[in-house]
Each structure stands twice: as structure tokens, then as C-alpha cells.
A and B are shown apart, each in its own frame.
Chain A
């Protein structure tokens, strides 16, 4: 344990009675409850916390908030390790384990730092240059770049934590719990509106948390916050979410927020770790505050270089000095408040260096009165010290402020605080795709007009209004106004008041602070710390013609890291404007996109993972399959029995046995997943005529018909058997995977094109369990359990259906076949499914009835050349391509896709046709997807004429069988083609697709 050498004796919102132990890079430290990791590290005198992205330069903590570009930390270990978290936003808890990133072998001694010495060989755009030259350069450099440039590494193990998702709805959503946001929530809440207030910090207060002695309504500001919090908590329609970041402003006033529920307690906490909120608000009040800009001075990235406002936060909120002796560099008055607060806390301020010629504002005078030296019209030209600031050089500015002059003053210090002015946090405003506009007085972007439909208003610092009294008044008015607009009329009360700030003088914009050497020589002027982009890089981009902001950003990678350029975008833009001799608004600005800060993948996934990712559908007798050792495969959401291996059987053995038993005697398959749609209405037959390629009007009740559905482009879309139950009643079956799509398709055509047609569609997929008996003995099995009908060929012919009873259960049997064998498809209500299945199994015992799975089903249908839509077809096959010329209703004037069949390309005779393929070596089973060529060459490219769509070992043909689509295939019967794959070439003969005739003969 080391002493907290920078901890101040008193002050701060930390609980000194509760010390908290944590580790950083394996070393143990103590902080206090209420500390952030950043404040605790600073209290312990740890200023070196990371290595930079490209040059591996030593880096320290820059900020006290979400904008932190340097102090990126790996939190946790093992399966909970999370990279790239911002040290100022990590709350300390007992046992917190943290580590620095991007260093090897250690933070203190990092070999990658050699990159810094070689920096002239790694200019901006280096990666892109390796793409261009030398040839293959990127391939060579990539390995090194990937290793050397980078951030933290996430865990590769499964995340053990739970995440939650919830929707919220409110009248007024307030983003930001500072003075403006609290005032807005109070006013809207008092008026009676439903309000949600979110704030990313651990407690409400916003900027007030960093104040030393402000008061509101005559009492200490934080007392006012506490009273407001209590009042809000008592309102039943108001919800306050702290530790909650609104990271995305989506369409129609929906904000995505992440609530960090237990991150501040650690992995032993109960409950979900984080929660994703999607909140739809009628009005959004953006009270998101502002972020201080650093100044771009020479070697401004030394550990110890920090934002002036951050230094103030550490002293006032955390009771921690960032260092022992501080120099402040500023171009505006706000940094003097830092000087005064440091003086009040007893931290030594060596000097305030002001870029302005003659600052005389009230805070400046107060600082001078405290005996702190103010060095006006001067700049810091060097910062010395590699791993910790040791000294700064100060020189006077020339008249135009573009260079320095005169003698050098060396000032000993360990911390440099800089302030380059304030940029309103316009991120959420910008995420709505609304513009931001440049304000010449503030030298900052402020929100422009809001987008239509995105009802929001920016208030307080987020709008560029910085006075406390003004923020309170604006927030109050916005909250009251929103509530009033939505009809809430209770008294909103009056705005809280605060004393005015001392009058301030304007800031002096100076986007590059000059040094005694030209920019790019000597020290480095960093613009973007996190991506190691310097002012010299921006100049290089300018010289090479990357002038627009978007080009600059992509070329230098400026603003593209995890901090999204929160501290760098405006500085880079302003430097580019200067180089181009333009005003800043003429150069433009980048658009901010979600997320505001990085969001864990876990919270997006929420509970929707593993078995909860997608619904799992099971047939009514799923458990029977499982009990009988079935292996399952996923078909869409369905889990279907794939095959039923017996002891010692491989998949191949089991499938062969199932296929053989079905052809030789009888097999049974659970086909309950088949899509089924009940179609009724006087126009049902007319409608089927339109959606199928063949004719349906004359189909008699009691009969079934096979049909193809095409898209309007003429390509096969689904297939299946549809049966006429009664004059105005049909039972349609679809492919298992296509059921939902087909129902939607029917509904769309009905509602959008033929709404006057009287026809109704109802999904009945799960209202019928379907068991298909196949094989020569299937009738004998069924006869034992059926009653009410005659199963003979004459009484119950192929392609017809009958109602009857099976094992005492009302059933509907279809005489349709997907194997080419004698077949009966037994449909029963699902609640009786297991009973009927067992009855069929018992009845079939004497015939060796064999349950078969989807694999055998595929082999059995392929033996007879039956197609599967989605396997033989891929959205480019017409029924004619599949050899189903006969299924096109020639006499029918119209159906969906008909006109497309007449298009010259669709009608030509040499399209790809579905054909059979018989390998020369009957043992060789082709891989599905294998490409087919006519002429083999030594190596690709070769002219491909088609590919294999289905391929199996057929135990009944006793050889391999395959189906393929081949250009002009039907006119190439008997020709030999070649399939080069896996370093060999397999020859195969084009054949018909009925392999039990053609294939058997070929093998004989």
C-alpha cells in the first residue's frame, strides 16, 4: 500500500471513512468510496496510465469525464475483462482490478515507444499509403501495425453477466442532471407531466459537483440538488436514472440509454449488470452541458497535462490534487476559477500563462490578488519530462500571436492545466441529423434548428449558455413549456436563482500555440490524443489535398477512436480552416453519430442470447424423437428429427438403414412442420389461379394438386400440394421454411392488388400434426388403425384426401408422396399426435416400420428427382428450368410471373436446367455446390456451366446420385462433364433425375 500523497486533507464528495482497495497493473492502492479510478490514481500520484495508440508515448489522465482520450483502462479479469473504459468514468469499488493498455512488456518500459523516434516514418495516412505502394505492402505491414497500434483486448470467453432491456415512454425526457436539467425536470414534473431524467454520473448535479462555493436560492448548490432530488423522487410520474448514458438519439424522439446498474459494485452484485432503455418521449430537453477544449501546444501530451476544468473537478469533487505544483495555460477567463480553487485548497499554482495580450477580467484580478503570477501575452513553448511533467518553457507571443519572441522562462511544475474554451455537448442534437452552427462570440458550435419530428430543445451549456442563473431559468422554462404544451396545468413553480458570475473577457482563439520551432519540428502539438494525430498531421493532410473535414478525418483517423473526437474535433477543424484561409463554418463540421460513449455488446444482446435468441419450434411429438435417440437439425426455427442412430451406427449407417427400410417395407416421418394455410371464400379458387402457375378452378373437392408459386419475376418462390376441401375451401401446404413467407405473400397480393376478392387466409401449421407413412407396406399398416374409409387404390386414389378416424382420432389423410413410393400423410389434431404416432408404430411393428428423419427424407425424394425449393432453386430458376413445363397453365390468361416467362431471357431454350448427375465412379459422392465445367484446365479460371444442388449416397440405387443445374442441361443428356475440387477432377454423366430407373440402369 502506498500513501495517497496527492490527497488533500479535507474536501470533496468522497467518504473518507470508507477506504477502498483496488489494483492497477497488479499493484495495490487505496482510494475512498466516491472516487473514480482516475481520482484515486491521481491521489496516489500515479500519473502515467497508458501508452498512446501509434507512437506508444507515455500518457496520463486528461479529463474528468466521458471525453477522456488517454486514460483507457482494461477493467476486470478473465471472462469479465472489458477494454477501453475511461478511467474518470470508472467508479471505485473494493476489489476493482484494472490494467493499462497498449504497452509491452510494461507500462513503464514499453518497447513500442521506439515508434515515437521513428514517427517520421509513420505519418498520417501511413496505412493508406501501404495499400497503394509497394504492391503487397499492406500485407507485409499489417501484422506489425495490428500488434503495435491498438487499444485493449476484450475477453474471448463468454460474458457471464446478465443484461436487461426495457422500454420507457414519457412526456418529457431530460438528458443531463446538471442545474439546467434538474430545473427542467422539476418544472415539468410539478406541472404533472411524466418525466424521465437521465444522467451519466453516479449522482445528480452535473457541473455543480465540481464547484467549490456556488449557491442556489441562497443555499449551497449541492443542498439545492439534494432537495430537488428528494422532490423528484416524491413525484409518482417522474423517474430519475443516474449512471445512465443517453448514447443514441434515434428517429421520432426515441433515445437509447444504457443504465449501469452494478458496474459500481462489482461482479459480486446481484441483479443485471446493465440495462438498455429505449425511451420514446414526446419532447426531449437536452441539458448535456459542455466539454472543455485543450490547447494545442508543444508536447501537450506529457503525463500531467490536463484540462483546467478537470483539475478543478479533482480538487473540488474528489479532494485530490492532480499534482504538487501547477502551471495553467489559458485563452479565456474560466481557467482562473481553477487557479482560485487550487489556491483555496492549498495547491501551489506556479503561474497562469495567458495567451491574451492584457487580461483584466474580474477572475484574473482575483487571481492576481491571491498572489498568483499571471504571465500575459505568453505561451508555453516546451513541456519537459517523459513520464511526468517536470518543467515548462514560457516565451512571449509576437504581435500577431503566430510566433514567440524574447527570452525563455523555465518554470518548474509537475502539472500543466490548459483551457482552450468550451464546446457545447451537441452530440445528441447532431445525431438527429440536425445541423450545428458556429457561434463567433463563443468560438464554438451550438445547436442549429431541430429536425422536424424530433421534438427537442437544447438548454444551458449544451446550447452555449454558461451562466448558472441562466441555466436554471432556461431549464425551468423548457420544462414548464413542454408540460404546458401537453396539457399539464399544475403550477410549475418559479425558476431557482443564483448569483451572476463575474464578468468575463472574450477568449482569444489560438488553435495552435506557437513554439520556438516550426510545427512538426521539435515537440509534437497533439490534436487528437487517442489517435496520435498532431497539428503537423493536419498540415500534411492539407498539403496532400485532403481538405474537407470528412477527408481529413479519414486520412488522419482524427476523431475516429473510442472518444469520437470529443476534445479534438473543433481544434482540428479550426487548424484546417486556418490552413485553407477560410472561416471555420465554411470548412464544415463532422456529424456526430451514435453512440456517444462506447456501449457493451452485452447490453445490446440483453437476454436475447443462446436459446432465447430466436423462438424454438418443436413438433407435438418432439419428446418421442428425443427419447428414441434422434439427432436434431434446425430448419428455420424448427428443430426436426434428422436421423435416429442405433447403437454403434454412424449417421451414414442410420440414414442408409432408414432409406432402405422405407423403400423395402415402410417408413414414417414426422412432417408436422410442413406449412399449412387454410384458404376460404368464394374467390379462393380464383385466387389460387393467380398465385400458382397451374389451373385450380376445375379441381374437384376431395382432390389434391401440386403447384409452383412464382414471383412476378417468374422465378420459383415456393411449392406444395393444395387440396380442395369444399367448393370455397382449400388446404394449402408450403415448404417448412416458406410457410410464413407464403402467408405474407398471399395477404400482400390480396390486400394490395385484389382487395375486392372474397378470400381469407389462416395459418394452420400448428393445428395439424402430420405423419407420413411411406413404402410398399404403408397401406397394410394404416389399414390396422383406420376406420371409416376404404384405403384401396380404387376407392382412395393418388392425389386425393379423405376424412376418417385413425386410432379413434378424427383424422384427414392425404394420398400424396414425397418419396415416389406408396404414401399416406396422416393429419391429426396436435393434442392427439403422440397417441396416433404410437398407434402407427405398433401397427407397423410386424412390417419393421422405421422412423426416418430429414436426412433420409432428402435422400428418398432425391432418388426420384423431387426438388426442394431453396435447394434446387435459388431465386433464378423458373418452373421450366426445373423441367416442369407441364405445370404452366397454358390456357390460363394470367398468373403471377406469367408475363416474365415470356421475356426473351426467361424464354430462351439454353438456360440452366435441372438435370441428374451420375459420377463415373459410383462410390464418389459429389459435394453440394461443386462447380461444373465442360473443359478442364490446369488451374482456374475455367468456364463454369453449372453447379451441384443435391448430392447423396443412394442405398436403393446403390451408388451416388446428384442433381445439378447446368447450362442447356436437358439438351446435353448423356454428355460427360467435369467437377474440379479438392485438388482432383471428377467426371460425371448428365442423366435424368429419376435415379431409381436411370441410376439403377447405369449401375447395372
Chain B
């Protein structure tokens, strides 16, 4: 079971949290929506990274403070490399 440090509550067991999906997927602006192709829209909707290595993803402390935040997690070692608030850009990490 992962140990996740909620930026607002501190370290808690994984079962207090819910996984969202890949982080940093910006919703296309209205202008973009009007010009983008169906394929581009489908890419936004459905396509997600599945790296072997560091993955940036968003979690929510659903059984705690209910706040969303971002996590950089290694998909092989399950190591949580960084926890950072929503809105902050992805940290520049060496691919482990």
C-alpha cells in the first residue's frame, strides 16, 4: 500500500485516496475546440501515457480533505518522487 503525502494533511495510507488520471492534460480552450479535428479531440479525451518510469498523475484525498493534487510516481518501483499542488507545472526530473 502506497504512503502518499497529502500536501494538506501529511502522509496517509493509499486507501484514503483515489487515483484520477494522468496530470497536466489541459482542457482545450473554446477556440481550440472549434478548430481541432475529431482525432485531436479524441486524443485529449482518451489517450493517456503509460510510461515505464516516472509518471505524473493526479490524486485526490477523497476520504480526507477532498483536495486534488499532483504526484510524480515511478511506475516500476512505486516510489513517490514528488507531491505538488494542482496548477504547479510538472517538475523536471531525471527519468529514473
Contacts and interface: CB of A to CB of B under 8 A. Distances in A.
Interface in B20-77: 20, 27-28, 30, 33, 36, 38, 41-42, 45, 58, 60, 62, 66-68, 74, 76-77
Given A744-B62, A753-B27, A893-B30, A254 B3 contact: yes
Contacts of B36: 899
A336 B65 CA distance: 63
Contacts of B62: 744
B90 interface: no
A452 B45 contact: no
Contacts of A452: 74, 77, 79, 96
Contacts of A453: 77-80
B76 to A, nearest CB: 8
A250 B30 contact: no
Contact of B68 (A253, A254, A752, A893): A752
A893 to B, nearest CB: 6
Interface in A883-903: 893-894, 898-900, 902-903
B58 A752 contact: yes
A712 B42 CA distance: 10
Contacts of A904: 38
Interface string A729-772: 00000000000000010011001110100000000000000000
A900 B13 CA distance: 37
A753 B14 CA distance: 24
A945 interface: no
Contact of A903 (B3, B28, B42): B42
B1 A899 contact: no
A251 B3 contact: yes
A748 B30 contact: no
Given A453-B78, A453-B80, A713 B45 contact: yes
A986 interface: no
A713 B43 CA distance: 11
Interface string A25-48: 000000000000000000000000
B29 to A, nearest CB: 9
Nearest to B69: A751
Interface residues of B, number: 31
B86 A751 contact: yes
Contacts of B60: 744, 747-748
B87 interface: yes
Contacts of A755: 86-87
A449 to B, nearest CB: 11
A250 B66 CA distance: 25
A252 B66 contact: no
B77 A280 contact: no
B41 A251 contact: no
Given A752-B86, A755-B86, A899 B33 contact: yes
Which of B1, B33, B80, B87 is packed against the most chain A CB atoms within 10 Å?
Answer: B1
B20 A748 contact: yes
Contact of B38 (A280, A751, A893, A903): A903
Nearest to A896: B27
B78 A751 contact: no
Interface string A696-721: 00000000000000001100000000
B1 A903 contact: no
Given A453-B79, A752-B58, A755-B86, A747 B66 contact: yes
B2 interface: yes
Contacts of A280: 3, 13
A903 B36 CA distance: 11
A898 B2 CA distance: 37
Given A251-B78, A752-B86, A899-B33, A712 B45 contact: yes
A580 to B, nearest CB: 28
B39 to A, nearest CB: 10
Contacts of B27: 712, 753
A451 interface: yes
A751 B41 contact: no
A564 to B, nearest CB: 22
Interface in A798-856: none
Q: Which 3 A-B pairs have the closest CB atoms?
A: A252-B3, A453-B79, A751-B68
Interface of B: 1-3, 13-14, 18, 20, 27-28, 30, 33, 36, 38, 41-42, 45, 58, 60, 62, 66-68, 74, 76-80, 86-87, 96
Given A251-B14, A433-B76, A748-B20, 11 more contacts: A250-B1, A251-B3, A252-B80, A254-B3, A254-B13, A744-B60, A744-B62, A747-B60, A747-B68, A755-B86, A894-B33
Interface of A: 250-254, 278, 280, 433, 451-453, 712-713, 744, 747-748, 751-753, 755, 893-894, 898-900, 902-904
25 contacts: A251-B3, A251-B78, A252-B1, A252-B2, A252-B80, A278-B1, A280-B3, A452-B77, A453-B78, A712-B45, A744-B18, A744-B62, A747-B60, A747-B66, A748-B20, A748-B68, A752-B20, A755-B86, A755-B87, A893-B30, A894-B30, A894-B33, A898-B33, A899-B36, A902-B38
